[in-house]
Structure 1
Amino acid sequence: MRLFDIVVVPPLWLFALWKLPHLKSASRRDRVLWTMWMLWAVLFTIGVPAVRTVLDAAVGMEGFAKLPVHMLGLCAMTAFVEFIREATGARRNSKAWLRWVLLGLAEAGLVTAFFASPLPEGDADLVTRTDLPQMQVYWAIFLAYIGHGVVRKIHLCWRYGRQASPGPSRTSMNLLGLASCFGLLYVVHRLVYLVAAVAGATSTAGFFATSQTLLACTLVLFLASMAYPSLAGAAKRHRLRKDRRVLRPLWELLTAVTPEVVLPLPEVLSRDHEFVRYRYVIEIRDAALAVSGHVRPEQEARVQEELTGTGLAGSALDAASEAALVLFAVESERAGAAPSAAEHPLLREGPDIDAEMAWMRRVAAAMSTPAVEAAVGRLR
């Protein structure tokens, strides 16, 4: 197999087969997308030299396999434009049926031009015979349809990509727009070759390698644009599960002595990692406030001074100090000691949930350090 086939064909089949089990319950948008991937998987499989040779031999016409490849390519382009319209919520109009008429005419034009061409002698590939007027018409139809589809994709990505919210959706649209630009370069490159052939040029040096490189870049970027939201979602779920595991010991420590801050959680929400992380942050903050009456201002100053003496400074000092104060407050509450000060925040508040989560992770990590354990011991 060629390098192009190794890079392109297996990912296409893997992506199409990965989506297949969920196709029955999928939305129309996802079904259209799956249709496009399956069409591409089939047409690029047919384009593999070994497969193409078998198909040509079965039909008895050298170069015949290029015809179904290009016909499926037009169908895949139509499906992809339809997917982008569904994904961006583009307005439908009463002339939408013309797209299918245009596809039918383009397919009929390819078939007519192909079979109207005289068969070359020997093993020459019919579709590469751009010196034939029929093949010039063939390529003109194919490139015009693909070029029209690519330009529409670029327009839709540019128009709606700017409106997408920052994050995976916008990144996906940007990758899709970049893939469409490579697709346009592929069309222009093919068109230049066709015009040169009509003008009488016969050299093909580097043409096929450049064409395959542009097509491979287009498809790899298409794959990346489609897979990125799923991969980003999986990475986010992994990060949320990790945050949940990190926060749970601190949450259990504080809520064990302040069970009143714990709200009942329905079973369905307990599986929502983002909601559970949010709950942990809120309840840790509330529980720390509830036990803060055991910490007097002079004790806070003492802990700061002792931990500064260990070489800590800056945010590391602040995290260690808060860890020591929380541990001391929990021990005092567990021992039944009466509060000796007014309630006040023991934990730094952040501008958003992510900032608070990051800070609580640092406080939780500092609790097991020797310096913090020693500071708590001296407060007892």
Structure 2
Amino acid sequence: MADTLRHYGPAAVAWVLLAYRVSKGRRGAPDPARDTVWLVLLGLSLSLTLLTPAVYAFTGRVSGVPNLARLLGHGSMLVVAWSARTFLWHLNHPITEVQPRTRLHLGFLAATFAAMSVLFVLADTPVDDARFAARYAGDPWVLEYWLVYIAYLTPAFASMAVLGWAYAHMSTAPLLRVGLRLVAIGAFLAIGYNLHKALVFASERFGFSYPPAGHLLIDGVLPMLAHLLVLIGATLPAWGRLVNAPESLAWLSRYRTYQALRPLWRALYAASPHIALTPASPALVELVTVRDLNLRLYRRVIEIRDGRLALMPYLDLDTATAARARAAQAGLSGQALDAAAEAAALHAALHAKALGATAVFGPASHTPGGGDLDSDTVFLRDVARAFHRLERQSHHG
């Protein structure tokens, strides 16, 4: 049963997602970025289907060409890499800039597939076998075939991983942001799998020791996981609303923010316990408690602000100014710069109070933060992360 799911599950998911996109049709004005998603889904569906044992055997039997399904499946994967890369280019570049790039890489794709076809013919693989690597790993031209294949895929998938992660950071649409990150992770895993297989072929050819123990798990799980992540990520903006994904992502974001604020809140609470409406709970309890998250997040933000107010007599403007200068030299700017300076000021004030320093009411200073609750929560999350880094540095120092 597990082998059946591993062989046929990703292909079934790919066709379901492709059918869903087809059923939705095209809406609104033409969108080159959205249109390339169709090619990603179609290429993955064909590639995964051709490499299933039943279809693999059927293709060889009907065509009379042993292992033809492997060449066609790999050709479909080249289309996936080209399409996904084109999709990411369209997200952040004008079409006049993207078109020359896509034509150039389409030429590379054609040349790669032509070279793979020549090497496929040269390789002596007379037995049609879905377990191709186990049977032919050490045979002439098989390693060369795979090296040509990954010579196109690796830079394409690396570009997908880097651009996908970068564009996800810039995106303001939650579903697109998560989808791009899933595509990036899937592309990274695909690179690892392809390099692993290249080493398998090379070890058989040249007689060195590889693969490591547990390689069957890599062969079985890594490609399936990579395919599923790309499939889900590429289509998440289309079907995510059907399962209330935006609401789930918003809740997850609030939960992560609540947990990220804990180190700062806990330090302020230890210095001034009166700021909390209820006593602090153990970290594990907070980790698994998910009820009333909106109220608890609101209270945490208010209590952090109260804790800062209680620290005002210990806040040193010179410390904040020096921390700002160091952060600016490190390349920080904007809110990241404000957060680093605020974290340093709070860290120094807490340290001064803990050492029993005399409270000195200095001149009133501007309190950095957001203009409303939501923006202030985001700012304090950045402060809390910077504060946590300072805490770790002080403990290790």
TM-score, structure 2 length as denominator? 0.54
RMSD (Å) for aligned C-alpha atoms: 3.3
Which of 35, 41, 62 is residue 37 of structure 1 equivalent to? Answer: 41
Residue from 148, 153, 173 that aligns with 1:141: 148
Do residues 162 (structure 1) and 166 (structure 2) align? no
Indicate the residue corresponding to 1:12 in structure 2: 14
Q: Distance in 2 between matches of 1:121 and 1:231?
A: 42
- The answer to whether 1:114 aligns with 2:120 is yes
User: How far did 1:53 drift?
Assistant: 1.1
Give the C-alpha shift of residue 179 in structure 1.
Answer: 1.5
Q: Quick one: structure 1 residues 182 and 60, their matched pair in 2 at CA, closer, same or farther if it must change by over 3 Å?
A: same
- Using the alignment, how far apart are the partners of 1:5 and 1:123 within structure 2? 14
1:218 maps to amino acid: A
Conserved? CA contact 2:14–2:45, under 8 Å: yes
User: How far did 1:28 drift?
Assistant: 2.3
Residue 86 (structure 1) aligned with residue 90 (structure 2): yes
Post-superposition Cα deviations, 1:344-364, rounded to whole Å, max 9, x if no partner, equal xxxxxxx679xxxxxxxxxxx
**Normalized against structure 1, the TM-score is what?**
0.56
Contact 2:167 2:177 in 1 (8 A): no
In 2, distance between residues paired with 1:126 and 1:99?
A: 28
**Partner SS for 2:124:** coil
Q: CA deviation at 1:236?
A: 7.1
Is 1:71 the equivalent of 2:75?
yes
Cα distance, 1:3–1:126 mapped onto 2, change above 3 Å:
closer
Instruction: Note closer, same or farther for the CA distance 1:50–1:206 as it changes in structure 2 (3 Å cut).
Output: farther
Unaligned runs of 5+ in 1: 240-314, 316-350, 354-380
Structure 2 CA distance for partners of 1:55 and 1:228, relative to 1, 3 Å: closer
Classify 1:144/1:237 alpha carbon distance in 2 versus 1 (closer, same or farther; 3 Å).
closer
Which whole-Å CA distance do the structure 1 matches of 2:20 and 2:99 have between them? 33
Q: Which moved more, 1:229-238 or 1:213-222?
A: 229-238
**Residue in 1 aligned with 2:57?**
53
Distance 1:206 1:153 in 2: 28
8 Å CA contact retained: 1:43, 1:68: yes
Counterpart of 2:225 (choices 202, 217, 233) is 217
- Paired position in structure 1 for 2:338: none
Contact kept in structure 2, 1:63 and 1:125, CA below 8 Å: no
Distance (Å, rounded) in 1 between the aligned partners of 2:86 and 2:148: 20
CA distance in 2 between partners of 1:74 and 1:4 (Å):
22
User: Cα–Cα, structure 1 residues 52 and 121, in superposed 2: closer, same or farther, change >3 Å?
Assistant: closer
Summarize deviations over 1:299-337 as a string: whole Å, max 9, x none. Answer: xxxxxxxxxxxxxxxx9xxxxxxxxxxxxxxxxxxxxxx
Structure label with greater radius of gyration = 1
Instruction: Check 1:78–1:238 CA distance in 2 against 1; reply closer, same or farther (3 A cut).
Output: closer
Unaligned runs of 5+ in 2: 249-294, 296-371, 375-397
Identity between Structure 1 and Structure 2 (%) = 16
Matches within 5 A, 1:128-277: 128-165=135-172, 167-201=174-208, 207=215, 209-234=217-242, 235=244
1:201 positional shift: 4.9
Aligned residues, how many?
A: 245
Structure-2 residue corresponding to 1:266: none
